[in-house]
Amino acid sequence: MAKRGGFPGGMPGNMNNLMKQAQRMQRQMEEGQKELETKEFTAAAGGGAVSVTVNGKKEIVSVKLSEEVVDPDDIEMLQDLIVAATNEALRQAEDASAELMGRMTGGFGGGFPF
């Protein structure tokens, strides 16, 4: 016979409380994700000659180029600067997402302690 308040087999805890906690955590994650999607992350390369902004959905929102970086004889440098700025902006968005996950999971890293 199971102990009072436990699961058959003696597993401690209350399933209703566990389900409520899981649902609350899921709502918090959804709210946090929506908030993150509205944020924008901007990074620059080439001393500010190239600036790229991405949103929390990791979509490019804008690319800004200063006139002096647009050299028809050196397209490769411009391409490299755009890639560098884009990658840094995406890293910022990813870091914000990882921070959100860390706050929501309380440091579990997405895993469970059992």
Q: Reply yes or no on whether the pLDDT at 101 is more than 80.
A: yes
| Position 91 confidence tier, pLDDT thresholds 50, 70, 90 | very high
Contacts of residue 64, defined as CB under 8 A and 6 or more positions apart, other chains included, come to 50, 51, 52
**For residue 61, what pLDDT is reported?**
95
Mean pLDDT of 83-89: 97
Residue 107 has pLDDT above 50, yes or no: yes
Calculate mean pLDDT across residues 55-80.
Answer: 94
Q: Quote the pLDDT of residue 16.
A: 85
* Phi, psi (degrees; rounded to nearest 5) at 4: -60, 130
Q: What is the pLDDT of residue 114?
A: 46
Question: Residue 13: pLDDT above 80?
Answer: no
Considering Cα of 60, then 52, then 88, then 76, what sign does the dihedral take?
positive
CA distance 78 to 91: 20
In this prediction, residues 17-24 reach a mean pLDDT of 87
Identify each DSSP E strand in the chain by its residue range.
40-45, 50-55, 60-65
Residues pairing with 30 in the sheet: none
Q: Which residues contact 1 (CB under 8 A, 6 or more apart)?
A: none
- Name the pLDDT band for 12 (thresholds 50, 70, 90): low
What amino acid occupies position 107? Answer: G
